[in-house]
Amino acid sequence: MSEHYRLATRDLSLGYNGIVIVDDLSLKIPTGRFTVLVGQNGCGKSTILRALAGLLAPMKGEIFLDGRPTRKLPSRERAKQIGVLTQGAQAPDGLTVAELVRQGRYPHRNFFERWSSRDEDACAHALDLTNMTSLSGRQVESLSGGQRQRAWIAMALAQETDILLLDEPTTFLDLAHQIEILDLIRQLVHDRGRTVVAVLHDLNQAARYADEIVFIRDGKIFDAGVPGAVMTDRNILDVFGVNAIVMPDPLSGTPMCIPVPSRH
Amino acid sequence: MTRAIPVLIIFNLMAVIAAMMWGDQSIAWSDLANAVIGKASPELQMIVIEFRLSRAILALLAGAGLAVAGTISQTVMRNPLAEPGVLGINAGAALVASVVIIAFSGVSPAVLPWAGFAGAVAMAAAVYALSWKRGTSSIRIILVGIGLSAFAGAGTSFLTAFGNVVDVQRAMIWLSGSVYGADWSKVHGLLIWLAAPLALSWFCSRQLDLIRFGDDVAAGLGQNVNMMRAFLILLCTLISGATVATVGLVGFVGLIAPHIASRIAGPSHRALIPVAGLTGSLLLLIADIVGRTVIAPAQLPAGIVTALLGAPFFAYLLKGRRHV
């Protein structure tokens, strides 16, 4: 594996209870880029993300980090390199934002290691990046959906991993908060060289923000590449079964897709 | 850490003093002081130090054990109602103790704690093994635990229905949970059993803080969830198994004390574990004082008092909560 693809899979098969969801997947995640997985519900996007994060053991095949199979990597070592934010994570009752974010330091501390100034700095920085500093004393359950999502992202940022995997980070957020999260991701990738992989549902947002889009259909890569190359009416029809017109976004010039109602 | 700890320690000390003074024979302050420094009459010395103080300390230890075990199981199971009983510990201890008392009524009572402990550990191991399916999950452990507990409960019921009446009554007294008949050797025994697991629980605060988030978050942050869960369940089993073996089935302390503690100390286990331990010890000691004074000279087992006082109090605690 070259430097450009620190995280990759080879012949990866994934599933639950013997049912195969993802079959023979060979995926390369470009380092220092924002990769977005798109596809229909149930196509295996989240399953792929969970496997990349080490939350789901492969049925077959291998996941590589820096060329080494990740199943040989102790989970704590993996968690220093790869951070993940799954859907539906819930904070325990009564936990404050600051306490949530502190959990992000878990992989960096040994059993008897005390809280260090470096841990403190990482948390402060994560809260600052997500605009959560002023809310750090609030209980997580008292926050709005957008604030809560930012608090969880802050936790993942406090983990200080080079690679960050986000499963639908913008779902259930209003437009302003969606944009805020996507801008934050872009900032992390372009200014700080992080590698981010996210599952997104909004194709136009994917096209505008992603460096690379991976279309997933039935657990396989249908097409992958820069948005300008792969966000085509053909791919949208084949992957989503939706007729769409693709035209340049008047603002960014990235492809913009307009679904055509089937009655037309 | 938290101001609650010194306050709780003072309350515990006050309860110990009350336990030494009150009973079917009230002890005056001056006699108490003399007994403590060893200058009272042998008879008084016997009552205050050998009977009442050892009993009070046993209640403190057992209460702390039940509360810490409850805190661990509620955290690991991610369920506010998951007291250690869901691991099958109580049912296993009850079954094996009943077998020993009823089916082998000639056996020395000294075997009883060992039998109870063995039953507790065997059941917890069975629950864990049966809920294993490429890893465990909290909900599977809870469901298997309830199932196996019912199974063991049926065995206990069978024994009590067909056993010799005198033996059955002995078994029922043991089952209801009591610090009756405490002495210093029981105190030492329980202390030796509990010291290391209680200390380890506190050292695992950070692991407990994280595992409570659930498997995905904990594993994503690098915790080996299955191994940690097994280890924490083992700690919980050792603590509550030893406690149940010594004092029988004392209900509700393991359920209520962690709830009270989290109200006082917040969600971090570094504070939660000691606060829960001190709360549990105070609860059980108060329950025992109430149990042996309220209808003196007869005595109510502490386990019955904790259930009588605990159930309404628990309802009150739940009233203010949103997520149960």
Q: Do A95 and B217 touch (CB under 8 A)?
A: no
Phi, psi of B212 (to 5 degrees): -65, -20
Nearest CA in chain B to A103: B210
Chain A from 39 to 58: CB within 8 A of any B CB: 50, 53-55, 57
Structure letter (DSSP) for residue B252: S
Q: Do A99 and B268 touch (CB under 8 A)?
A: yes
pLDDT at A263: 64
Q: Do A83 and B220 touch (CB under 8 A)?
A: yes
Q: Which residues contact A97 (CB under 8 A, 6 or more apart)?
A: A127, A132, A135, A136, A137, A138, A139, A140, A143, A151, A154
d(CA A225, CA A210): 10
Q: What is the tens place of the pLDDT at every residue in A41-69?
A: 989 999 999 999 999 999 999 999 998 99
- On whether any CB of chain B is under 8 Å from the CB of A75, the answer is yes
pLDDT at B308: 85
Q: What is the tens place of the pLDDT at every residue in B296-319?
A: 777 888 888 888 887 787 787 777
Phi, psi of A34 (to 5 degrees): -105, 110
d(CA B275, CA B5): 6
> Buried b vs exposed e over B135-166: b needs ≥16 C-beta within 10 Å?
ebbbebbbebbeebbeebeeebeebbeebeee
Strands A195-199 and A34-39: parallel
d(CA B149, CA A16): 29
Q: Which residues contact B263 (CB under 8 A, 6 or more apart)?
A: B317
Among candidates B210, B214, B220 on the partner chain, residue whose Cβ is nearest the Cβ of A53: B220
Interface probe, candidates B81, B203, B216, B268, chain A, greatest A C-beta count within 10 A? B216
Q: Is the ipTM of this complex over 0.85?
A: yes
CB pairs A-B closer than 8 Å: 67
What are the CA-CA distances from residue B89 to residues A34, B122, B245, B248 (Å)?
Answer: 50, 8, 10, 11
How many residues can be counted in chain B? 324
Structure letter (DSSP) for residue A134: G
Phi, psi of A7 (to 5 degrees): -115, 130
Query: Quick one: which of B79, B249, B177, B248 has its CA closest to A93?
Result: B79
d(CA B114, CA B322): 41
- Closest-CA distance, A95 to chain B, in angstroms, reads 6
- CB-count burial class (<10 Å; 0-12, 13-18, 19+) for B193: buried
Q: What is the tens place of the pLDDT at every residue in A102-139?
A: 999 999 988 777 889 999 999 999 999 998 999 999 99
- On whether any CB of chain A is under 8 Å from the CB of B323, the answer is yes
Whether residue B324 lies inside any domain: the answer is: no
Chain B from 243 to 282: CB within 8 A of any A CB: 262, 266-268
Number of structural domains, chain B? 1
Residues of B in contact with A50 (CB under 8 A): 216
pLDDT at A160: 94
Q: Which residues is A259 bridged to in the sheet? A: A244
Residues of A in contact with B223 (CB under 8 A): 75-76, 106
Among candidates B214, B219, B323 on the partner chain, residue whose Cβ is nearest the Cβ of A75: B219
Cβ atoms A137, A110 nearer than 8 A: no
The H-assigned helical ranges of B221-300 are: 225-247, 253-265, 269-293
Among candidates B210, B220, B266 on the partner chain, residue whose Cβ is nearest the Cβ of A86: B220
d(CA A71, CA A57): 8
Whether residue B63 lies inside any domain: the answer is: yes
Q: Do A159 and B221 touch (CB under 8 A)?
A: yes
Q: Do B267 and A77 touch (CB under 8 A)?
A: no
d(CA B18, CA B242): 26
d(CA B127, CA A31): 45
Nearest CA in chain B to A83: B220
Structure letter (DSSP) for residue A254: S
Whether residue B173 lies inside any domain: the answer is: yes
The Cβ-side half-sphere exposure at B5, using a 13 Å CA radius, reads 10
Residue type, B266: G
**How many other CB atoms are there within 10 angstroms of residue B224's CB atom?**
15
Residues of B in contact with A153 (CB under 8 A): none
Phi, psi of B145 (to 5 degrees): -60, -45
Q: What is the tens place of the pLDDT at every residue in A72-89?
A: 899 999 999 999 999 888
Q: Do A89 and B222 touch (CB under 8 A)?
A: no
pLDDT at A2: 45
Structure letter (DSSP) for residue B304: H
User: Is the pLDDT confidence value at A1 over 50?
Assistant: no
- Positions of chain B with pLDDT lower than 70, given as ranges: 1, 320-324
Strands A19-25 and A82-85: unpaired
CATH (domain of B183): 1.10.3470.10
Q: Do B222 and A80 touch (CB under 8 A)?
A: yes
Q: Do A78 and B222 touch (CB under 8 A)?
A: yes
What are the CA-CA distances from residue A162 to residues A4, A33, B179 (Å)?
Answer: 13, 11, 57
pLDDT at B320: 65
pLDDT at B104: 82
Task: Report the interhelical angle of B225-247 vs B89-98 (nearest 10°).
Answer: 40
SS3 B145: helix
Cβ atoms A199, A49 nearer than 8 A: yes
Residues of B in contact with A47 (CB under 8 A): none
- Closest-CA distance, A206 to chain B, in angstroms, reads 24
For chain A, helix, strand, coil in percent to 5 are: 35, 25, 35
Residues of B in contact with A55 (CB under 8 A): 215-216, 219-220
Cβ atoms B178, B248 nearer than 8 A: yes
Phi, psi of B144 (to 5 degrees): -65, -40
Which domains does chain A show, CATH number per domain? 7-90+162-259 (3.40.50.300)
Give the structural domain span for B211. Answer: 4-319
